[in-house]
Amino acid sequence: MSEVILKVGAFPLSDELKQAMEERGEFYIETDLSPDERTKVRQRTTIVLGSGGTQFKEADFATCPHLKGIVCYSVGYDGIDVPAVIKHNVFLTHTPDVLSNEVADTAMMLLLNCTRQAKFAQEYIENGQWGHAEPFPLTTSIEQKKIGIAGLGRIGKAIAQRAEAFNMRIGYYGRQPHHDVNYPFFGDLKLMAEWCDVLMLIMPATPENKHCVNLDVLKALGSKGYLINVARGSLVKTEDLITALDQNIIAGAALDVFENEPEVPAELMHRPNVALLPHLGSATVETRHQMAELVVKNLDAIIQGQSVLTPVPGTRRH
């Protein structure tokens, strides 16, 4: 049986990766298919190409009886039912490491954009205000500020390295301490929010941590604190964030991800202390090329019956 590869989920696909899929079997994009076509293609699908937002649950396995594996063009896989993957003994791979530095760069860019109000400073020039209006207001330095990183994984550690270069003081929140770092550890997110000036979110989204950043946590962060989210939109209760901004409970926020993206509440827009990006964390030509290469290597390993390079933790490698 030749490979039948099905792209599941709405995410951009480079020409390079599309060509690689087409070279390895019949390739279908599910969103381009009619309901009847989807049913027929799923009956023959051997590989699913997914991403962080791809939804693939227990019921989906019955629709794909010949499925060998799911290869994710992302580091995240929160829409995929990992226990079901393990139960059905299929491969599940993702693309860690290759995007860590890029996402960390994006996190620091968002932090600086928010604290220094770079977007509004540019508009100040473009609107002809420089030299013809009140001077642009003073902004906030991140020097010697305390940054609390929620999730000290690969990307979290890359952010910490960059924060150190800005002479920031670093703490982190997680399930357990890391013995390879000397940063203060917090087992409670609210306690870390009380401690830090910048709350940086870079942890996986789970049903248990949905809306973990709520009004209580934002109040703990305080009127001089900034929230940065380069993880998943579901971590933040959006209505509470809007309330915190409206009432000056926090100093500002910078977001690359949103709870119901691509829908972004109008209440978050056009604020000098809020920086927004359309989920661009790893979106550079160079990083997406490396991610595509890793996807193809994992795909080839599955097809050839070899060990995959980057299985999702807890899933099969061989």
pLDDT tens across 124-133, in order?
A: 999 999 999 9
pLDDT band at 52, cuts 50/70/90? confident
Cβ neighbours for 239, distance < 8 A, ≥ 6 positions apart: none
**Percent helix, strand and coil across the chain, each to the nearest 5:** 40, 15, 45
Number of domains in the chain: 2
Domain of 270 in residue numbering reads as 100-276
Give a yes or no: residue 243 inside a domain: yes
Q: Confidence class of residue 1 from pLDDT cuts 50, 70 and 90? A: low
Residues 110, 207, single domain; the answer is: yes
Burial level of 272, CB count in 10 A (0-12/13-18/19+)? middle
CA distance 318 to 300: 13
Q: Are residues 137 and 70 both part of a single domain? A: no
Is there a domain that residue 62 lies in?
yes
CA angle 310, 313, 318 (to 5 degrees): 60
In a domain, 201, yes or no: yes
Same domain, 166 and 254: yes
31 neighbors 283 (Cβ within 8 angstroms) = no
Q: Which residues are catalytic?
A: 232, 261, 279
Would you state the pLDDT for residue 85?
A: 98
Q: Do residues 113 and 180 both lie within one domain?
A: yes
Using the structure block, give the residue that is written with the tokens 């902004």.
Answer: 139
Q: pTM of the prediction?
A: 0.91
Quick: pLDDT tens for 177-208: 999 999 999 999 999 999 999 999 999 998 99
The answer to whether 252 and 229 are in contact (CB under 8 A) is no
Same domain, 265 and 291: no
At what angle are helices 100-116 and 154-165 packed, to 10 degrees?
50
Closest CA to 96 of 154, 147, 42, 40: 154
Average pLDDT over residues 256-277: 96
The percentage of the chain sitting over the pLDDT mark of 90, rounded to a whole number, equals 96
Q: Is residue 315 part of a domain?
A: no
- For residues 160 and 271, state if they share a domain: yes
Q: For residue 316, is it within any domain?
A: no
Is residue 314 domain-resident? no
Residues 187/150, Cβ–Cβ less than 8 Å = no
Do residues 157 and 257 both lie within one domain? yes
Interhelix angle 118-126/100-116, nearest 10 degrees: 60
Query: What CATH number does the domain containing 182 carry?
Result: 3.40.50.720
Indicate if 162 and 183 belong to the same structural domain.
Answer: yes
Residue 87 and residue 179 in one domain: no
Q: Is residue 310 part of a domain?
A: no
**What span, in angstroms and rounded, lies between the C-alpha atoms of 196 and 194?**
6
Decide if 318 is inside a domain.
no
Examine the domain organization and report whether 255 and 183 are in the same domain.
yes
Same domain flag for 192 and 219: yes
**Eight-state DSSP code of residue 268:** G
Instruction: For residues 77 and 115, state if they share a domain.
Output: no
